[in-house]
Amino acid sequence: MITDLKMNTNLPPLAERMRPGTLEGYFGQSDLVRPGGPIHDMLQTGLLRSFILWGPPGVGKTTLARIVAKHFDLPFFTLSAVSSGVKEVRDVIKQAEDYRNGLFAQGAPILFIDEIHRFSKSQQDSLLHAVEQGSVVLIGATTENPSFEVIRPLLSRCRVLVLKPLTQGDLDELLHYTLSRDEVLTEYEVQIDSTDALFAASGGDARKFLNILELIATTPEALERKSFTISDEIVSQQIQRNPGVYDKGGEMHYDIISAFIKSIRGSDPDAAVYWLARMIDGGEDPKFIARRLVISASEDIGLANPNAMLIAEAAFTAVERIGWPEGRIPLAEATIYLASSPKSNSAYTAINQALAFVRESPPHPVPMHLRNAPTEFMDELGYGKGYIYPHDYKGHYASQQYLPDEVVGTSFWRPADNAQEAQLLQRLRQMKGEQE
> How far apart, in Å, are the Cα atoms of 239 and each of 178, 193, 229, 283?
20, 17, 15, 22
> Which is it for strands 159-162 and 51-54: parallel, antiparallel or unpaired?
parallel
Longest dimension (CA), the chain: 96
Out of 3.30.56.10, 3.20.20.100, 1.10.8.60, 1.20.144.10, select the CATH number for domain 167-246.
Answer: 1.10.8.60
- Three-state DSSP state, 145: coil
Residue 404 has pLDDT above 50, yes or no: yes
Residue 3 has pLDDT above 70, yes or no: no
pLDDT of residue 329: 93
Residue 254 has pLDDT above 80, yes or no: no
State the pLDDT confidence band at 386, using cuts at 50, 70 and 90.
confident
If you ran DSSP here, which 8-state letter would residue 60 be given?
S
- Provide CATH code, domain 362-435: 1.10.3710
- How would you label 338-355 residue by residue, b for 16+ Cβ within 10 Å and e otherwise? bbebbbbbbbebbeeeee
Residue 141 belongs to what H/E stretch? strand 137-142
If you ran DSSP here, which 8-state letter would residue 195 be given?
-
- pTM (predicted TM-score): 0.57
Residue 45 has pLDDT above 50, yes or no: yes
> How far apart, in Å, are the Cα atoms of 248 and each of 26, 57, 208, 215, 244?
23, 9, 9, 17, 8
Spatial distance between the Cα atoms of 68 and 110, rounded to a whole number of angstroms: 9
Per residue in 357-376, pLDDT (tens digit) is 888 888 888 888 878 877 77
Residue 315 has pLDDT above 90, yes or no: yes
pLDDT of residue 293: 95
pLDDT of residue 251: 40
Q: Which class does domain 29-162 fall in?
A: alpha beta
pLDDT of residue 112: 92
- How would you label 280-296 residue by residue, b for 16+ Cβ within 10 Å and e otherwise? beebbbbbebbebbbeb
Average pLDDT over residues 194-199: 90
- Provide CATH code, domain 253-340: 1.20.272.10
Average pLDDT over residues 410-417: 83
Domain boundaries, the chain: 29-162, 167-246, 253-340, 362-435
Residue 297 has pLDDT above 70, yes or no: yes
Spatial distance between the Cα atoms of 335 and 350, rounded to a whole number of angstroms: 25
Mean pLDDT over each residue of the chain, to the nearest integer: 84
Residue 313 has pLDDT above 80, yes or no: yes
Per residue in 115-167, pLDDT (tens digit) is 888 787 778 888 888 888 888 899 999 888 888 778 888 898 899 999 998 99
Q: Helices (DSSP H) in 297-401: which residue ranges?
A: 307-322, 328-340, 346-360, 376-380
Sort residue 174 into left (φ over 0), alpha (ψ -120 to 50) or beta. alpha
pLDDT of residue 418: 81
Per residue in 316-325, pLDDT (tens digit) is 999 888 887 8
pLDDT of residue 419: 85
Average pLDDT over residues 66-92: 83
> Which is it for strands 159-162 and 189-192: parallel, antiparallel or unpaired?
unpaired
